[in-house]
Structure 1
Amino acid sequence: MTGARKDLFTRALAAAPGRLHFAAHSHHLWPDAGFEGQVQAWDDAARHADRKWDHVFGAVIPEAQGHVARELGLPDPSTLTFSSNTHDFLLRIFSGFERRPVRILSTDGEFHSFRRQAQRWEEAGRAVVERVPLQPFATFAERFLEAARGGRHDWIVVSHVFFRTGQAFEALGELADVARPEGPWVLVDGYHGFMARRTDLSAVADRIFYTAGVYKYAMSGEGGCFLHAPDGFCPRPVVTGWFAEFGDLDGPPGGVGYRADGGRFWGATFDVSALYRFNAARRRLDVEGLTTEAISAHATSLAAAFQSAVREGRAGPLVEAEILNPVAADQPARARFLALRHPQAKAWSEALLARNVVTDVRDDVIRFGFGLYQGDEDLDGLIAACAAL
């Protein structure tokens, strides 16, 4: 376990010295290395000008692919493609289904990118969506796998860690057994798992799609999302960008060719500065020996201490809330934030923000996120602010 490393975040902390930022699960503060990466992106654009993309595809993207592949245990970095947001990848995968309506299996706890888009596909008659309720969560995996094995679906979409409750779906191996190149395809949303907890996809990489990004626990801001695409699944997405024309192409004579690797999901021109920030942040973490496990251990220790304060009544009215994803030895599968459900969640979050304590709220759930730039004194300040609610 490591202690707080405020020395890695001097710029972000100095920008708002009185702020207590407990939303590391949302807009994670950027480390100083991210600033250096951003400057490097500008310098490279000035240095290479029209030939910048040769450098981006020759050095920047391969480095980012390597970082992601090592983090997730992916055997081949070429299965990874980048875009500005995960919504792009939803559209490209959906476009690859030849039948309409697309029969989709998902949950009632997916993030807004999929939730809203799926509802609109239903309205337009392009999809039929079956949503398995998350609650009661003790039986969720069993219920979801039963539905997935029913053979009624073309596409299965599920979060690895659920954004609202912080609970985790651990049965990726069993779910991958259902996937087939001819359908169903399985997409795992890993945004709250990537670099938040150790994730090894080596045993399922040949059967599942996995998407996430660098906005949250990867500490690198918006604009750097990725998709891992298993070979043979969705070989010719209809929604396609001109970047997918580069490389060794397969396809019908005279038709549109596609790369056989993950590059078949490339879109078009996008701002690559997020990848510069991500590469710089990962390099610095590697130098410091700060693995995902080490960072998670620090965050979990803070979460456990805050949880004790809540349960003991030292955090004011939060004692009345239900902790949806408690820190417990027998429940290691959880997000790197604490999710507390209560009718006053929104009011609490607003009152804390008025005291310059940043959390966030999803419906009736207030979320407290923990990270490297927080120490014991920050936790004491958080507990005191909650006690004053």
Structure 2
Amino acid sequence: MDLIKQQFAPETTYLNTASMGLTPARTVSAVRRGAETMAAGLMTVPTLVGAEESARASFARLVGTETDRVALGSVVSPMVGAVAAGLPPGAEVLLAEREFTSLVQPFVVRDDLSLRFVPLDRIAEEVGPRTELVAVSAVQSVDGGVPDLPALRAAARTHGARTLLDITQAAGWFPIVADDWDYTVCGAYKWLLCPRGVSFLTVRPEAADRVVPVAAGWYAGAEDPWSNCYGPVTLASSARRFDVSTAWLPYLGAAASLRLVEEIGVDWIGAHDVALAARFRAGLRELGHEVPDAPSAIVSVPGLGRLEADLASAGIRASMRADGLRFAFHLYNTDEDVDRVLDVLSTATAAAR
């Protein structure tokens, strides 16, 4: 696709989007222009607010919700903390084993909650009458695992449990409807290709009563925070009351990145990413590695974490997670990338024997 070629020109075989997405050329330009405008003393409030609202609206469209259900932030864990703060003492929170820490730690520090960790493939059946909240990633960071989300939704409805879905490793390629969940959180610097410093929280109106705006500042006031930013203010009636004051340069970039994802389309990106991952799994099996089939753009190869440095020396970027070597395939990757990493792995594993 010409649009992708225009926006990306990596100097490596980059298979590490699960750690950090590549920055599109248009985003680099937007951030550079913003910094230059600030340096010249020419930046205006409407420009900054326009970028924030463009990012909010793009994200809402990408995840199937309304704009007024989206809150803006910088990182995921404070947004999870706002949900954790609203739970009653003793509430049971159900989490997956080996879940990413940003989704776990805000509940751990409460001290007065009952946390239960279960295998990912059992999380739906482990929801019970005592479960107050289920918190899980739509796609697991450690290995790309995907829980049975329809079954989890059904179990939560049956038992009256609320749901928090971390879509950091999913939004941008995996089909997500945020309104199917009480809350979603997303760090946007991976698959959504934004600069780091951009995150989103979605809140269904029926579940907003249990979210505490613990980081409320002037951005959380009314619908236009610029109209009154001194002393106590009335919080916005929409999810904007969970906004935090944003990092302006990252949001100038985010508006550009999210428009690009919209232009290409999540359906196309998802099909492309998953097809590359399937090609890679097939090649791994030919090399003698056991990897399960999965509807995921992330592939983790157990026991190969030691080869991360070898691949980096060959110009291939991947990540060691647990003892596995994790590869992530996104819109800028190609069949040639897959074949190249398979060739290098073949040589590296043969030399290690």
In which range does the TM-score fall when normalised by the shorter chain? 0.7 to 0.9
Q: Which moved more, 1:364-373 or 1:230-239?
A: 230-239
In structure 2, relative to structure 1, the CA distance for the partners of 1:275 and 1:200 (3 Å cut) is same
In structure 2, relative to structure 1, the CA distance for the partners of 1:358 and 1:224 (3 Å cut) is same
Q: Which amino acid aligns with 1:189?
A: D
Aligned to 1:34: 27
In structure 2, relative to structure 1, the CA distance for the partners of 1:369 and 1:60 (3 Å cut) is same
Q: Is the 8 A contact 1:4 1:298 kept in 2?
A: no
Aligned to 2:157: 177
Shift of 1:222: 1.1
Shift of 1:374: 2.5
CA RMSD of aligned residues (A): 2.8
In structure 2, relative to structure 1, the CA distance for the partners of 1:89 and 1:285 (3 Å cut) is closer
Aligned with 2:124: secondary structure? helix
Q: Which amino acid aligns with 2:172?
A: M
Q: Is the 8 A contact 2:143 2:300 kept in 1?
A: yes
Q: Name the CA distance, whole Å, in 2 between partners of 1:61 and 1:175.
A: 36
Q: Name the CA distance, whole Å, in 2 between partners of 1:221 and 1:8.
A: 15
2:171 aligned residue (180, 194, 201): 194
**Aligned residue pairs: how many?**
339
Aligned to 2:229: none
**1:310-321 correspondence to structure 2 within 5 Å:** 310-313=284-287, 319-320=288-289
Q: Is the 8 A contact 1:27 1:221 kept in 2?
A: no
Q: Name the CA distance, whole Å, in 2 between partners of 1:179 and 1:195.
A: 30
Q: Which runs of 5+ in 1 are unaligned?
A: 250-254, 314-318, 328-333
Q: Is the 8 A contact 1:188 1:211 kept in 2?
A: yes
In structure 2, relative to structure 1, the CA distance for the partners of 1:56 and 1:225 (3 Å cut) is same
1:85 aligned residue (64, 70, 75): 75
Aligned to 1:331: none
Q: Which amino acid aligns with 1:30?
A: T
Shift of 1:36: 1.5
Shift of 1:179: 8.0
Q: Name the CA distance, whole Å, in 1 between partners of 2:199 and 2:342.
A: 34
Aligned to 1:115: 104
Q: Which runs of 5+ in 2 are unaligned?
A: 226-231, 349-353
**1:1-389 correspondence to structure 2 within 5 Å:** 5-10=4-9, 13=10, 17=11, 19-43=12-36, 45=38, 52-57=44-49, 59-74=50-65, 76-97=66-87, 99-121=88-110, 125-134=111-120, 137=121, 140=122, 144-148=123-127, 150-169=128-147, 170-171=149-150, 173-175=153-155, 177=157, 184-202=161-179, 204=180, 208-235=182-209, 237=212, 239-242=214-217, 243-247=219-223, 257-267=234-244, 269-286=245-262, 289-313=263-287, 319-320=288-289, 322-324=290-292, 326=293, 334-342=295-303, 345-389=304-348
| 1:19-74 deviation digits (Å, cap 9, x = unpaired) | 2211122212111111022124325545776x8445433x2222112111111111
Q: Is the 8 A contact 1:240 1:265 kept in 2?
A: yes
Q: Name the CA distance, whole Å, in 1 between partners of 2:3 and 2:301.
A: 24
Aligned to 2:228: none
In structure 2, relative to structure 1, the CA distance for the partners of 1:178 and 1:44 (3 Å cut) is farther
Q: Which amino acid aligns with 2:222?
A: F
Give me the TM-score of the superposition, normalised by structure 2.
0.85
Aligned to 1:316: none
Q: Name the CA distance, whole Å, in 2 between partners of 1:81 and 1:175.
A: 27
| 1:160-212 deviation digits (Å, cap 9, x = unpaired) | 111122121222541552586xxx4321111111012222344x2xx510111
Q: Is the 8 A contact 1:248 1:260 kept in 2?
A: no
Structure 1 vs Structure 2: percent identity of aligned residues?
A: 20
In structure 2, relative to structure 1, the CA distance for the partners of 1:301 and 1:380 (3 Å cut) is same
Q: Name the CA distance, whole Å, in 2 between partners of 1:353 and 1:257.
A: 52
Q: Name the CA distance, whole Å, in 1 between partners of 2:279 and 2:125.
A: 37
Shift of 1:364: 1.9
| 1:217-270 deviation digits (Å, cap 9, x = unpaired) | 111231111000111424361513212123399xxxxx9743221112123x33
Aligned with 1:194: secondary structure? coil
Aligned with 1:174: secondary structure? helix
Q: Name the CA distance, whole Å, in 1 between partners of 2:3 and 2:256.
A: 20
Shift of 1:281: 2.1
Aligned with 2:255: secondary structure? helix
Q: Is the 8 A contact 1:193 1:335 kept in 2?
A: no
